[in-house]
Structure 1
Amino acid sequence: MSLGLREWLVVAHLPQLGPRRLAEVRAQRPAWPHGWLAVLPAAARDALRLWLERPAASPIQARLEQALAWEARDDAHHLLYPEHPAWPALLDELPDPPPLLWAHGDLAALDPPGLAIVGTRRPTRDGLDNAARFAGELAASGFCVISGMAMGIDGRAHQAALDAAGPSIGVLGCGIDVVYPSRHGELYRAMREGGGLLLSEHAPGTRANPVFFPRRNRLITGLSRGVLVVEAAEKSGSLISARLATEQNREVFVLPGSLNNPQARGCLKLIRQGATMVLERDDILDELGPWARPVASADAPPGASALAAASARGPADPILDLLSDAPTPLDLVIELSGRDFAHCQQRLLELELEGLVAQAPGGWVRLAGR
């Protein structure tokens, strides 16, 4: 029997049942609820039995009702659990996936492949510029940019992805309704309202705590196909992310830096340990293989993608024909063309490189005379 939201809310609040122990229980595929009672540790078993027999007497019931009320309060509020249609399947590869994720924003951000971008909270100007460039180009190539909403590299990567009209996911080390750091209030608003998504395994109201951030990092990398380290000192949380990515069988990409830049020492160390050094976006796309390019429709005949690309270079390009000198939002391009997000982003980038279109406030424009 599959567990629904109410059951997962109960499981998430059982005592002495952390994510790793819960994964071990789930691996036994116990039936609900008697199979769970048989394999849970004593404290969790007793708490579950109390809720099953006398829910009003259980402290879990109040938390369950609070969670359901939070989700019902706003259409952009979501509670994700392993049986949910939008649950990120990559998280099930972790030895300690969360039983529940609080989400605020657009769940469509979970659809494209994810690429994490992480780095120091005290970046150089070059580091900020590189984070913005790679995030924008990866978002335009059909990736969702994932990071931790921290100051420095994280925040710049999120903003650049949104500026490129691409999705971005921010994974929090606090409650979903807590703005941390406080100066990122505008970024939080942009993420919630501009096609981004905020995720947390902590209930609303949970204040940020240093002990939460290393565990948050496992979700940033766990949601991603790879992680790009932009700048990192020798002792840096970004190195924890790189280690976790390696343990999770994710690709680790690193931007090299100057020997004289203390914020590059960690990156140079990762390269020495075997991480992939990258200089441009295509270095990442080439390494990620099939995840790096839009996939042709299963109904298309062999060679259809090549024919489509060839015809796109001609005068009857279906994406180009939708644009004019007035900005057209990306979501409208997707709706009018009938193509998916990844295809439209990739084609618009190609047209931009060919000098046929450009990004402008409010969307994409066709350049005069093109």
Structure 2
Amino acid sequence: MNTIGVCNQEDLIKWLTLTTIKGVTPREWLDVIEKNSISLDHLFTGNWQPQVNHQAELPEKLAQLIRAADLQRIEQSLEWQSQETLNQLVSIDCSSYPEMLKQLCSPPLVLFVRGNERLISQPSIALVGSRRCTHAGKQIAQEFARQLAELGWSVVSGLATGIDAAAHQGALHGQAKTIAVTGTGPDKIYPARNQKLHHSIVEQGGTIVSEFWPGTPPRACHFPRRNRIIAALSTGTVVIEAAIKSGTLITANLAIDLGREVFAVPGNIYNSTSEGCHHLIQQGAKLVFKVEDIIEEFACVPSQLALQGVDESQKSPCENLATDELLDSVDFDVTAVDVIAERNKLSVSEVLATLLEYELRGCVAAVPGGYVKLRGKKNVRHPHVSI
């Protein structure tokens, strides 16, 4: 659309106005603007001509709807924004609005963001799963989230009990932090037992995101809408324990529809919380049991990865091992680790540490018997799953 740019308060109020109008979806408002090549200002004045002749009365009809907007709700939202600097309203024409979210059929016109606003546009992976998870499932979620955050990936989840909460907790111990997408207004915490976690996410540099107005309580119909935002914000979605009929599989299905990577952790075949994961694997999702299984599907690691952001003069001797010379010593055929060590006159432990860095960057791959150099960037596979 032709209005995308840095948002201002006047435009923000207009987007809030459109959001209050019942019976017209965000996609319908965006279609009117895009298909008729008009600006947001023209939409509000009614001073434009529709491209389709039989819709000549459309401008005036839409102008009437706009005049009937819920001004009280708009004021409440602006008041919420003014309460703290951590509270932000991000409209779809803001430069900080996530581009990946615009791939939704009907993306939210306004996001209510509390915390680190920049985080919602950075590379992220969703970790989702059952509320009634096993102790092992919680451990997996925490460890996966911590490792992903250490590698620069923000971790997205839904602030529910069980796997969601464990994922947020694990990510808080990493570098890239976590994003909690809620099914309530930005000022409501659900479930109440996650109040401490909610505050920790904001205080430690994470973000709370919602498309619902301040004061909105939890409702069953809100959570599928929340799930679509989780799927859209994330480069990939990892499912850790899920029943066949669950909101978690809805999130996975939405990720598939968006062409995103989907991963599933296998579990006990006698446990109902593993059925959803096994179903996804049968349908083509990638089976994973370690973080490396996830990140190897992506051509590169996030730009904020510490290994890429450290100044060369400040690197330790071990970090400086990641040179082109060592990479050149890895053949396109299988090269044993001891051979690589001999070629570079380094210890095996030093070489393994460096090879792990190269593997994370997509330059080499571990295979039986050693490592092979990859020819150019890795191809990213998208599982074609029909659920």
TM-score w.r.t. length of structure 1: 0.75
Check if 1:266 corresponds to 2:273: no
**Partner of 2:107 in structure 1?**
97
1:127-142 to 2 correspondences below 5 Å? 127-142=137-152
**Partner of 1:362 in structure 2?**
none
**Partner of 2:64 in structure 1?**
46
Work out which of the residue numbers 168, 184, 199 in structure 2 matches 1:174: 184
Check if 1:34 corresponds to 2:42: yes
Q: Which runs of 4+ in 1 moved over 6 A?
A: 307-311
- Structure 1 residue 26 displacement after superposition: 4.0
SS of residue in 1 equivalent to 2:72: helix
SS of residue in 1 equivalent to 2:40: coil
**Partner of 1:25 in structure 2?**
32
Amino acid of the structure 2 residue aligned with 1:281: V
- Structure 1 residue 61 displacement after superposition: 2.6
Cα distance in 2 for partners of 1:22, 1:107 equals 25
Q: Which moved more, 1:13-22 or 1:215-224?
A: 13-22
Q: Which moved more, 1:214-223 or 1:110-119?
A: 110-119
1:327-342 to 2 correspondences below 5 Å? none
1:125-154, CA deviations, whole angstroms, 9 ceiling, x for partnerless residues? 110010001000000000110010000000
Identical-pair percentage: 35
Contact 1:15-1:43 at 8 Å conserved across structures: no
Contact 2:33-2:40 at 8 Å conserved across structures: no
SS of residue in 2 equivalent to 1:117: strand
How many residues align? The count is: 305
Amino acid of the structure 2 residue aligned with 1:98: P
Contact 2:252-2:262 at 8 Å conserved across structures: yes
Structure 1 gap ranges (5+): 51-57, 297-303, 318-349, 355-370
**Partner of 1:66 in structure 2?**
76
Check if 1:115 corresponds to 2:125: yes
1:127-166 to 2 correspondences below 5 Å? 127-166=137-176
Contact 2:123-2:302 at 8 Å conserved across structures: no
Check if 1:185 corresponds to 2:195: yes
Q: Which moved more, 1:308-317 or 1:209-218?
A: 308-317
1:306-357, CA deviations, whole angstroms, 9 ceiling, x for partnerless residues? x98899451797xxxxxxxxxxxxxxxxxxxxxxxxxxxxxxxx79x99xxx
SS of residue in 2 equivalent to 1:79: strand
Cα distance in 1 for partners of 2:160, 2:178 equals 14
SS of residue in 2 equivalent to 1:98: coil
SS of residue in 1 equivalent to 2:139: helix
- Structure 1 residue 69 displacement after superposition: 1.8
- Structure 1 residue 70 displacement after superposition: 1.4
Cα distance in 1 for partners of 2:122, 2:204 equals 16
Cα distance in 1 for partners of 2:177, 2:238 equals 17
Contact 1:14-1:44 at 8 Å conserved across structures: no
- Structure 1 residue 278 displacement after superposition: 1.0
Q: Which moved more, 1:234-243 or 1:39-48?
A: 39-48
Work out which of the residue numbers 285, 289, 308 in structure 1 matches 2:295: 285
- Structure 1 residue 222 displacement after superposition: 0.4
Contact 2:97-2:121 at 8 Å conserved across structures: no
Cα distance in 2 for partners of 1:295, 1:158 equals 19
- Structure 1 residue 250 displacement after superposition: 0.7
Amino acid of the structure 2 residue aligned with 1:46: Q
- From the CA coordinates, give the structure whose radius of gyration is larger: 2
Contact 2:151-2:175 at 8 Å conserved across structures: no
SS of residue in 2 equivalent to 1:287: coil
Cα distance in 2 for partners of 1:33, 1:315 equals 57
Distance of aligned partners of 1:193 and 1:214 in 2 relative to their CA distance in 1, 3 Å threshold? same
